[in-house]
Structure 1
Amino acid sequence: MSNPEMKMPIRRHLAAATALMLGLSANAAVNDVLPADFFPLATGTTTFAVYAYNRQFSGPYSHGNKLLDGELSSQIVALRAGHFIEVAGMPVSLVAVLPWSQNAVSPTPLARALGEEARGLGDLRFGATGWLLANRESGEYIGLTSLLFVPSGDYDSRQALNVGENRYKFTLNGGWIKPLGSGVIFELVPEVAWFGDNTDYVGGRTLKQKTAYALSSHLRYRANQNWQFHLGSQINRGGETRINAVDQHNAPDNSRAVLGTTYLTDDKSHQFIFRVARDLEVKNGFKINSEIMLRYMKIF
């Protein structure tokens, strides 16, 4: 016969791990920045981009230990519109993002804990980037991005797995682009994310989340005027949750690696980015075993 007392720690760890499922955002930086995103385009330029992600997760993990052989499949499509203006002689980019996703969980025991599936529109995002340094001669740029997430997405308080988050979020990103010579470019993007409270989390409980931090970096190689290749890494720290004033001790503390390529057409009006990524390690939550991303951007 099974011992109920032995099962209780597992249940508590599972609850802490699943508390990170809000919006599926705890496994990566909240604002996903791609290579050259901190390159300012000419004043008056408008961009329209379509993102497509396929992510396969395993877990959940708690304190580095895998609790279940669970699987989570997530497909995301996002639309982003941007426009470049000039303020006090400084380039500024205004952006709006609308995501949609569908997510499915297996096997049945994990689906019962999280919710079997979630699909629909995600939370709207509005942001702006201002460049403190934009030296087109040297190719060095320093930008600052603020992004507000509005709780407008589909949300079901009966389960942990959701597309929307039922709370506000705010992120602040810095971006530094530095050419190293011979077509090699280094990029560094730190991020800080602050979270509002979700007062209707799984049955009317209150979920709070501590500040989260991320550091992303890319090394790009410009092969010619059309093709670039990049490799990168990301480290995520912080972001522990608290449910009804009870600390969950569940910071993701994960790191990931990315590899990709960028193609820009000769007329510089169409850009394609293809990327693959995976988590190298994760302490709490779900581990991204594979991610495939494609972005198409039209530049007007």
Structure 2
Amino acid sequence: MKKKLFFALLTAVAASHVHALEVQPGDFEALPNGTAMGLVYYNYTSSKDLYANDRKVSSNAKLKANAGLARFIYAIHPIPNVSIEPQVILPFGRITTDGDISVLGKTTAIGDIVYGMPIKYIPDAAPKHTFGIAPFVTLPTGKYDNNRGLNLGENRWNTIVQLAWLYHIHPQFTLENIVDGTIYGKNSDYQGHSTLKQKTKYEYQSYLRYNVSPATAFGIGGGWIWGGETKVNEINQDNRSNTIYGKLIATHFITPRFQVNMSIGKDFKAENGFKQDIDTYLRFAYLF
């Protein structure tokens, strides 16, 4: 395998595991003042098709990820119509490879911890709308070894900013739009003690949520990921993301405080990296 392709492959694997900031329909609704929420996520993804420059280079690049997240949120309303929701996220999981990429092996570890401070605003003049801005910082606390092909820790700082607009079209229908950008720090201890740099990566998500009742909702939508091209020792890897995906989501409050969320999705297009055959989420949330 050529060195440049190998580095690009490693970066693609890193981009395919534990998505710490997964957004589900309803996540940008403001929580009541003083509410604490504990969440546990399980995410399973599977891929076998690997792309480079919009061309499939392997149909046997088997990548499977079993990932989890532990998340804690607390809501504060310092002034009317504004909710500030500080939170902490801890990802963990297991990644395995087979087929053409079996040389990368497997890993089980804890990922990088994430701190966030989403701010949500519902204007009096337009109560059908909710606006949100959510800054997050990822700390390089996860397990990392530059001699391994797979790592859950990235050995670099990241900053993520999400912007959201929710339009409550009708008591039963909500249109949700979320766009975010991830600014990556530098990893100076990449493979072979090389230096990894990465351009800003962007993502746009849009969902239509149908509220069957106050306890149950369904959603349909998808998103587009682009950018994030990397350099290794100042050599451009020609591996920018350009991925389009779709999802179906269901949410239900089993009790007034205990919520279950499920989603299933897949990639429809991947210009570089892995095209996910399936992306499933199961999330449990409890309001204190």
Q: TM-score, length-normalised on structure 1?
A: 0.90
Q: Which residue of 2 aligns with 1:275?
A: 263
Bigger shift: 81-90 or 52-61?
81-90
C-alpha distance in structure 2 between counterparts of 1:150 and 1:105, whole Å: 26
**1:298 aligned onto 2:270:** no
C-alpha distance in structure 2 between counterparts of 1:159 and 1:275, whole Å: 32
Q: Which residue of 1 aligns with 2:68?
A: 77
2:188 aligns to what SS in structure 1?
strand
User: CA shift at 1:77, angstroms?
Assistant: 1.0
User: CA shift at 1:161, angstroms?
Assistant: 1.9
Q: TM-score, length-normalised on structure 2?
A: 0.93
Do the aligned residues in 2 keep the contact of 1:14 with 1:60 (CA within 8 Å)? Answer: no
Measured at CA, do residues 266 and 106 of structure 1 come closer, stay the same or move farther in structure 2, by a change above 3 Å? Answer: closer
CA RMSD between the two structures = 2.0
Q: 1:282 is matched by which residue type in structure 2?
A: A
Q: Which residue of 1 aligns with 2:44?
A: 54
User: CA shift at 1:22, angstroms?
Assistant: 2.6
User: CA shift at 1:121, angstroms?
Assistant: 0.3
Q: Which residue of 2 aligns with 1:32?
A: 22
Q: Which runs of structure 2 are paired with 1:1-300 in the superposition (5 Å)?
A: 12-22=4-14, 24=16, 31-68=21-58, 69-89=60-80, 90-107=82-99, 109-112=100-103, 115-133=104-122, 138-181=127-170, 183-267=172-256, 269-300=257-288
Partner deviation per Cα, 1:10-65 (whole Å, 9 max, x = no partner): x6445423323235359x7x621111111111111000000001110123210122
Q: Which residue of 2 aligns with 1:4?
A: none
Do the aligned residues in 2 keep the contact of 1:43 with 1:84 (CA within 8 Å)? Answer: yes
2:162 aligns to what SS in structure 1?
strand
1:200 aligns to what SS in structure 2?
coil
1:75 aligns to what SS in structure 2?
strand
Do the aligned residues in 2 keep the contact of 1:18 with 1:285 (CA within 8 Å)? Answer: no
Do the aligned residues in 1 keep the contact of 2:63 with 2:95 (CA within 8 Å)? Answer: yes
2:204 aligns to what SS in structure 1?
strand
Q: Which residue of 2 aligns with 1:3?
A: none
**Residue correspondences, number:** 286
1:18 aligns to what SS in structure 2?
helix
Partner deviation per Cα, 1:51-85 (whole Å, 9 max, x = no partner): 00111012321012222221101001110000001
C-alpha distance in structure 1 between counterparts of 2:280 and 2:67, whole Å: 11
